[in-house]
Amino acid sequence: MSIVEASADSRRRAGVSLTPLIDVVFILLVFFLLAANLQRDETRPLAPAGGQASGETEVRLAYRVTTKGFAPLAGDAGEAPIEASTIAAQWQALPPPEPDSEPVLILQAGEGVGVQTLMDAIARLEAAGVKRIRLIERRDP
């Protein structure tokens, strides 16, 4: 081996050491593995009534979600709670809507109702067949 070849060989081998690079890359990898959120988020729109297409929506039924079940929006708080299946039966019994109107069921969250209770109530209604649900907020006097 000539002197020129030997010096070229040693220069190549004595290049930048890879070990610190690997260290840093591994640390980055561990950071991303711990901090990353890879799951696809499930979400649900929180559009209050009138948020969009307010011109054509037609309110057909209106209920309040209470901690015990559903109550008519206009009724007293003391009435017996209504089941989701009863509301769904009412919804299905309504006459067909006008061609350019969107029938909706309005839900309002009663006093002391948490987000989980409201979402469970919506899920029960949707499972019973009511698909067009709009939320409205309660305005306390």
Residue ranges binding another protein (CB under 8 A) = 1-2, 5, 8-9, 13, 17-18, 21-22, 25-26, 28-29, 32-33, 35-38, 40-48, 51, 65, 108-109, 111-120, 123, 135-138
Tokens of 4: 């020129």
Closer residue to another protein, CB minimum distance, 54 or 95: 54
**What are the C-alpha distances in Å from 123 to residues 30, 80, 82, 99, 131?**
38, 21, 15, 27, 10
Which two tokens mark 130?
């009511």
Considering the complex, state which of residue 37 and residue 93 has its C-beta at the smaller distance from another protein: 37
Closest to another protein by CB, 97 vs 128, is 128
> Shortest distance, CB of residue 82 to another protein, whole angstroms?
18
Q: Which is nearer to another protein, 51 or 129 (CB)?
A: 51
What the block records as the tokens of 38 is 């890879």
Least distance to another protein, CB of residue 7, Å: 12
Distance between CA atoms of 117 and 99, rounded to whole angstroms? Answer: 34
Residue 94 Cα distances to 35, 58, 64, angstroms:
51, 12, 19
- Least distance from another protein to the Cβ atom of residue 14, Å: 10
Shortest Cβ 46–another protein spacing (Å): 4
SS3 88: helix
Of 44 and 80, nearer to another protein (C-beta) is: 44
**Least CB distance to another protein at residue 39 (A):** 9
Give the burial string for 17-37 (b: 16+ CB within 10 Å, else e). eeeeeeeeeeeeeeeeeeeee
